[in-house]
Structure 1
Amino acid sequence: MEPATPSTSSKNSPRFDRTSAAILDAAARVFSEEGTSAHLAAVAVAAGISRATLYRYYANREALLDALTADALDAAARRLADAGLERATVEDAIERIVRAFVAVGDRYAVLTSDHTTLEAAHEQLAAPLHDVLARGIRTGVLRDDLSVEILYEFLAGTILKAIQLNQQHRLGLEEASAVAAGFFLNGTRARV
């Protein structure tokens, strides 16, 4: 009896994973530049595949956006988990948070383009950020006249602007991250 060979269309095959990853990378770029209503043909061209291949992997725009959203949330959550926020000083944790989001910029930018998706992203990713901000207030590093929720909104806005500046090639990844973290920290430090 011969061993079974996986079909090239099998969702567990390396070929499927590579093509799927290429489609998601292309979709992130195209959607972040042109918006989520961009033609799927542009995504196929950016991925270097035919539209028929794109539709074999993702039946429609909604399926592609759902997959891209899941991928973006996963990438951001992994980066936050790897950042060691609980062991870092508040200042270092803020810098790591900003860098984590700027590093997944295209994908995170797509998350923020849809209000419902953005709310889901905030629900899934907000806890570690809230913990750092609460620790900052508690330890006297951050202002105590603003709530954690308000600080979170300012941090999220600063991160989005850093992502935009990086995508526009006006600042590199590290520079955009450092400037955004510094900007946030300088405006939210505890008053002496």
Structure 2
Amino acid sequence: MTRRPEPHDPTAERLLDAAAQVFTERGGTAGMAEVAAAAGVGRATLYRYFPNRAALLRGLVHAASEEVERRIADADIDNVDVREGLSRLCRGFMAAGSRYGFLAAVEDQPEKGPDLHRRLGDPVRALLERGVAEGVLRDDLPVETLFALFTGLLTQAVRLAARDGLGPERAAAAVIALFLDGAALRG
């Protein structure tokens, strides 16, 4: 019988931490045996928690989304100006991406589902809407277009940071500079 990890199960967390490290260092094609070795457990233990690669990837997507949600909440974007809010969001996404960026390159990645997209995307959309309403961001593009451009820059920056060693702070600064210079209201 496969063991289902309990929330905040220390062994499951150790396995996910090891998997994130192994996949970041060796790429998304690293094997389950490498993950078990990095966690300091036998393969049987890994398979009790994550019976196959797809289950491990689902666990990693869940861990990544939880981290991004925490970082969004910690950014306190409702209580700062739009530019600072975007900077905080970007730094949070880049920090999480430095740990889980390999997921963007995994071809057999599990479905994230609309609920995850909503939980991660709604705060970004709300901040962009506020930026347009306050005249900080241009109003000649729909918010959905601004959202697609901003999140597209974020996604590519995570990939570049992981591949080129750009680092989360430099990647975040580049995204904000590019996005705001192109999205700032022209006066």
Flag whether TM exceeds 0.5 (same fold). Answer: yes
Q: How many Å separate the matches in 2 of 1:27 and 1:177?
A: 25
Instruction: Give 1:116's aligned amino acid.
Output: E
Equivalent residue for 1:110, pick from 103, 108, 112? 103
Size of the aligned set, in residue pairs, is 181
In the TM superposition, what whole-angstrom CA distance separates every residue of 1:31-68 from its partner, at most 9, and x where no partner exists? Answer: 45523x54212222333332122112212222222222
What is aligned with 2:82?
90
Once the 2 structures are TM-superposed, how far is the Cα of residue 127 of structure 1 from its aligned partner? 0.6
Once the 2 structures are TM-superposed, how far is the Cα of residue 169 of structure 1 from its aligned partner? 5.0
Unaligned runs of 5+ in 1: 1-8
What is aligned with 2:53?
61
Moved more, 50-59 or 93-102: 50-59
Higher relative contact order (CA 8 A, sep 6+): 2
Give the secondary structure class of the aligned counterpart of 2:111. Answer: helix
Q: Which has the larger radius of gyration?
A: 1
What is aligned with 1:153?
148
What is aligned with 1:4?
none
- State TM-score, norm by structure 2: 0.83
Q: How many Å separate the matches in 2 of 1:24 and 1:188?
A: 37
Equivalent residue for 1:180, pick from 156, 175, 180? 175
Equivalent residue for 1:42, pick from 27, 34, 41? 34
Q: How many Å separate the matches in 2 of 1:87 and 1:13?
A: 31
| Alignment RMSD | 2.7
What is aligned with 1:6?
none
Once the 2 structures are TM-superposed, how far is the Cα of residue 120 of structure 1 from its aligned partner? 5.0
Q: Does 1:99 align with 2:91?
A: yes
Contact 2:72 2:89 (8 Å CA) reproduced: yes
In the TM superposition, what whole-angstrom CA distance separates every residue of 1:143-169 from its partner, at most 9, and x where no partner exists? Answer: 111111111111111112221232235
What is aligned with 1:5?
none
Once the 2 structures are TM-superposed, how far is the Cα of residue 173 of structure 1 from its aligned partner? 2.0
In the TM superposition, what whole-angstrom CA distance separates every residue of 1:57-103 from its partner, at most 9, and x where no partner exists? Answer: 21222222222222111111111011110011111011011111111
Going from structure 1 to structure 2, the CA distance change for 1:39 and 1:159 (only over 3 Å counts) comes to same
Q: How many Å separate the matches in 1 of 2:67 and 2:105?
A: 15
Unaligned runs of 5+ in 2: none
Q: How many Å separate the matches in 1 of 2:96 and 2:178?
A: 20
Identity of aligned residues (%): 38
Once the 2 structures are TM-superposed, how far is the Cα of residue 119 of structure 1 from its aligned partner? 5.2
- State TM-score, norm by structure 1: 0.81
